[in-house]
């Protein structure tokens, strides 16, 4: 109480104590203003820096996507595949094709020549189409599609002259493996590109519906078509404060500077050129200039991709300006009070009544302000850490699904082993074998089954009514491979029959080497079947398959041996596995994991699952980014009115698909709001306790 009395006497007698006005100014004006501006600048700088980091991550991915896909050949191939994928989902009619063509040409691809064919390989006439080379192209399509649909290759040799004349191709068989690829050819002597594809029905058991051929000269493609198209798309999808383009350091007129650039005030093409040139000399890829974040990526020796992003939002600037005005007015009031106190020696009446309370409250504001700044930083750090933790969970979940695919393949081996035992136990009855095969077919675990007798002849095959793809080829390969394996198993590999079988196999190898990748391809096929009682994956006719072989011994006598061959589409099996994972995630969404899954096909020939996933625009954007970088991509997106964190990733063991994992930010946002409310409540309580204590003490 003695100290309080001394302080009161000091306040009542300012003239006698010779209070220095400079001290009052320092503690009540200069120091508060300095600390306020320091804290405000620190907070704003922290916000802008964090925004720069967040923007830079996405911008860097976008620029890398443009650079990786900026090659005209690769970009055009992707666009053709995309159009093919959309067309394959529709009924092949002239009006349907015309609609797709109009949209395709409207996007700047009117230089591409198309020819379409129906299930009988007859030409489908399209409005405005040239009839030039029509007969040539029809024969070329018939020859290219025959090995895939009929298992024969005679038309490749028969129409070889057409390939030479129109495309300048000496080996037509090479084009069979270039399906869905853009191939360099010589179109009537001029450098050009050639593309072909076949269309199958998804609703009629994979029935052949026709196909298409596309071709165009290289001279018709503008030099920067791919880069400008990708940058235009990015500018359309980004906000008004973001601008993508490229700068040609040698010829500024050849640069791509979109109209959005004019909205970013204070920057001119020359200023941008100077800034990017300086960054290039310093080997910098990121800089902040006049409140604009510059991100660059070298496209080639003279061109740089760039993105300009405004990081200073007007709302922040207006808020900071209003706060500074408030502080300025407060300082003027405090200065006036100090001057009056110095001249008259007395405080104003309102301050005399509440002088102690106001003094304590004023002094408490400083530590509270520091507490608020530190608390906001901690809350922001917590929010970012939780988001990164969620991304980690999503990546781990995807990796777990990818790794567990091996378990599914091991289970497939067990099912095939049981199938072989059941066939032996059923006494090789065709009806029972068909029932067992049908059960596996319904689960996408079996496509074809062959049982060979001890001579290597096909004793039983399923399905009896063969589908369209490669059956004649398999029927010729399986007995030749089986005869060799049975001879090795029974120890008769040096017998006359075995040597005859070897000659047959060699003859078949020469006949089909072009279609299965040469001699090494057939040897690889043989090695795959040699691994008995083990599921092996191989490439055959440009597709992935699982093969399995097992010797069936009803008795101990090797003379009764039979050989079972199983042939299955690994793509269909892996798709079923992923669909099951997606369905399980949907069923357990209300559980603790709460992770939603979706899957998309690389080639877009298979519809995404679930189908409604395509209504979200980010799905296509992230798919493109994954395909361009072959790496995981993460993003914040909105689904069903809520904020979600989304991760898209390629799969090592299922390369045909891209898996998406999503988790809502609900829990993190609720915890964030609780922390902000707690921080606000602590500040209010501190102020109230200070005022209350001041009233009681003084």
pLDDT digits (tens, 9 = 90+) for 234-282: 888 887 778 888 888 777 778 888 877 776 666 777 778 888 888 887 7
SS3 5: helix
The first and second tokens of residue 300, run together, are 């080639």
- Position 3 confidence tier, pLDDT thresholds 50, 70, 90: very low
- Position 660 confidence tier, pLDDT thresholds 50, 70, 90: very high
pLDDT digits (tens, 9 = 90+) for 394-431: 888 898 898 889 888 999 999 999 999 898 888 888 88
pLDDT digits (tens, 9 = 90+) for 546-602: 889 898 888 777 777 888 989 888 888 888 899 989 888 876 544 445 788 999 988
pLDDT digits (tens, 9 = 90+) for 346-396: 555 555 555 555 566 566 666 776 677 677 777 777 777 888 888 888 888
Confidence at residue 15, expressed as pLDDT on a 0 to 100 scale: 42
- Position 468 confidence tier, pLDDT thresholds 50, 70, 90: very low
Average pLDDT score over residue span 115-129: 85
Dist CA 502 CA 506 (whole Å): 6
Average pLDDT score over residue span 52-64: 78
Q: Which of 51-55, 110-114, 196-200, 621-625 has the lowest mean pLDDT?
A: 51-55
The first and second tokens of residue 288, run together, are 């902040």
Confidence at residue 2, expressed as pLDDT on a 0 to 100 scale: 47
Confidence at residue 158, expressed as pLDDT on a 0 to 100 scale: 86
Confidence at residue 648, expressed as pLDDT on a 0 to 100 scale: 92
Phi, psi torsion values for 228, nearest 5 degrees: -65, -40
Dist CA 306 CA 652 (whole Å): 32
Q: What percent of the chain has pLDDT over 70?
A: 76
Q: At residue 341, does pLDDT exceed 70?
A: no
SS3 308: strand
Radius of gyration for the alpha carbons in the chain, expressed in angstroms and rounded: 37
The first and second tokens of residue 568, run together, are 């299955």
Which of 234, 292, 274 is CA-nearest to residue 258? Answer: 234
The first and second tokens of residue 19, run together, are 């209070």
- Position 22 confidence tier, pLDDT thresholds 50, 70, 90: low
Confidence at residue 541, expressed as pLDDT on a 0 to 100 scale: 64
Concatenate the DSSP letters of all residues of 97-155 into one string.
HHHHHHHHIIIIITT-EEEEE-TT--EE--TT---TTHHHHHHHHHHHHHHHHHS--HH
Q: How many CA atoms are closer than 13 Å to the CA of 238, on its beta-carbon side?
A: 23
Q: What is the 3-state secondary structure (H, E, C) of 632-690?
A: CEEEEEEECCEEEEEEEEECCCCCCEEEEEEEECHHHHHHHHHHHHHHHHHHHHHHHHH
For 549, other C-beta atoms within 10 Å of its C-beta total 24
Q: Cβ-count burial of 35 within 10 angstroms (0-12 exposed, 13-18 middle, 19+ buried)?
A: middle
pLDDT digits (tens, 9 = 90+) for 140-193: 999 888 888 877 778 888 888 888 888 888 788 888 878 888 988 888 788 999
Average pLDDT score over residue span 487-508: 59
Dist CA 125 CA 116 (whole Å): 8
Average pLDDT score over residue span 449-454: 88
Q: At residue 310, does pLDDT exceed 90?
A: no
- Name the pTM for this structure: 0.60
Put residue 112 in one of left, alpha, beta given phi > 0 → left and psi -120 to 50 → alpha. beta
């Amino acid at each position: 109480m003695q100290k309080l009395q001394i302080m009161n006497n000091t306040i009542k007698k300012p003239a006698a104590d010779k209070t220095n006005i400079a001290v009052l100014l320092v503690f009540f004006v200069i120091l508060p203003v300095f600390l306020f501006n320091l804290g405000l600048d620190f907070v704003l700088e922290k916000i802008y820096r964090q925004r720069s980091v967040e923007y830079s991550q996405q911008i860097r991915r976008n620029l890398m996507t443009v650079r990786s896909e900026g090659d005209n050949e690769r970009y055009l191939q992707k666009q053709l595949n995309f159009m093919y994928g959309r067309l394959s989902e529709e009924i092949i009619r002239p009006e349907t094709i015309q609609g797709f063509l109009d949209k395709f040409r409207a996007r700047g691809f009117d230089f591409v020549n198309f020819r379409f064919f129906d299930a009988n390989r007859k030409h489908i006439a399209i409005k405005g189409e040239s009839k030039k080379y029509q007969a040539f192209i029809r024969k070329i399509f018939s020859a290219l599609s025959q090995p895939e649909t009929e298992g024969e290759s005679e038309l490749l040799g028969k129409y070889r002259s057409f390939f030479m004349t129109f495309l300048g191709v000496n080996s037509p068989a090479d084009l069979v493996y270039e399906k869905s690829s853009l191939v360099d050819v010589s179109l009537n002597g001029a450098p050009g590109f050639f593309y072909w594809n076949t269309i199958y029905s998804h609703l009629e058991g994979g029935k052949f519906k026709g196909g298409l051929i596309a071709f165009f000269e290289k001279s018709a493609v503008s030099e920067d078509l791919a880069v400008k198209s990708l940058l235009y798309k990015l500018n359309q999808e980004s906000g008004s404060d973001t601008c993508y383009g490229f700068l040609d350091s040698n010829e500024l007129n050849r640069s791509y500077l979109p109209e959005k650039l004019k909205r970013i005030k204070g920057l001119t093409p020359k200023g941008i050129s100077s800034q990017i040139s300086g960054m290039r000399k310093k080997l910098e890829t990121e800089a902040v200039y006049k409140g604009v974040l510059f991100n660059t990526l070298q496209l080639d020796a003279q061109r740089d991709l760039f993105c300009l992003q405004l990081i200073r939002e007007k709302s922040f600037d207006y808020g900071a300006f209003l706060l500074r005005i408030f502080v300025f007015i407060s300082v003027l009031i405090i200065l006036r009070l100090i001057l009056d106190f110095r001249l008259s020696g007395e405080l104003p009446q309102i301050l005399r009544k509440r002088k102690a309370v106001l003094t304590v409250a004023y002094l408490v504001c400083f530590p509270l302000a520091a507490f608020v700044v530190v608390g906001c930083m901690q809350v922001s750090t917590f929010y970012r850490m939780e988001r990164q933790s969620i991304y980690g969970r999503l990546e781990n979940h995807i990796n777990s699904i990818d790794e567990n695919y091996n378990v599914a393949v091991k289970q497939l081996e067990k099912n095939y082993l049981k199938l072989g035992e059941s066939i032996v136990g059923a006494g090789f009855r065709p009806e029972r074998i068909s029932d067992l095969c049908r059960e596996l077919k319904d689960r996408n675990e079996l496509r074809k089954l062959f049982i060979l007798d001890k001579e290597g002849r096909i004793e039983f095959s399923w399905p009896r009514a063969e589908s369209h793809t490669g059956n004649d080829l398999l029927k010729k390969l399986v007995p030749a491979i089986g005869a060799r394996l049975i001879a090795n198993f029974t120890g008769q590999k040096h017998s006359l029959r075995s040597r005859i079988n070897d000659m047959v196999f060699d003859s078949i190898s020469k006949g089909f080497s072009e279609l299965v990748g040469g001699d090494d391809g057939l040897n690889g096929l043989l090695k795959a079947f040699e691994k008995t009682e083990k599921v092996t994956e191989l490439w055959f006719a440009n597709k992935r398959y699982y093969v399995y072989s097992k010797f069936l011994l009803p008795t101990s006598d090797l003379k009764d041996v039979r050989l079972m061959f199983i042939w299955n589409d690994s793509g269909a099996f892996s798709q079923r596995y992923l669909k099951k994972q997606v369905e399980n995630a949907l069923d357990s969404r209300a559980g603790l994991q709460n992770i939603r899954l979706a899957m998309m096909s690389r080639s877009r020939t298979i519809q995404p699952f679930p189908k409604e996933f395509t209504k979200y625009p980010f799905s296509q954007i992230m798919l493109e980014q994954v395909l361009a970088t072959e790496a995981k991509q993460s993003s914040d997106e909105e689904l069903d009115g809520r904020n979600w964190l989304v991760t898209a990733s390629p799969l090592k063991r299922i390369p045909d698909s891209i898996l998406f994992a999503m988790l809502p930010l609900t829990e993190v946002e609720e915890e964030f709001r609780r922390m902000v409310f707690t921080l606000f409540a602590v500040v209010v309580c501190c102020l109230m306790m200070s005022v209350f204590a001041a009233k009681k003490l003084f």
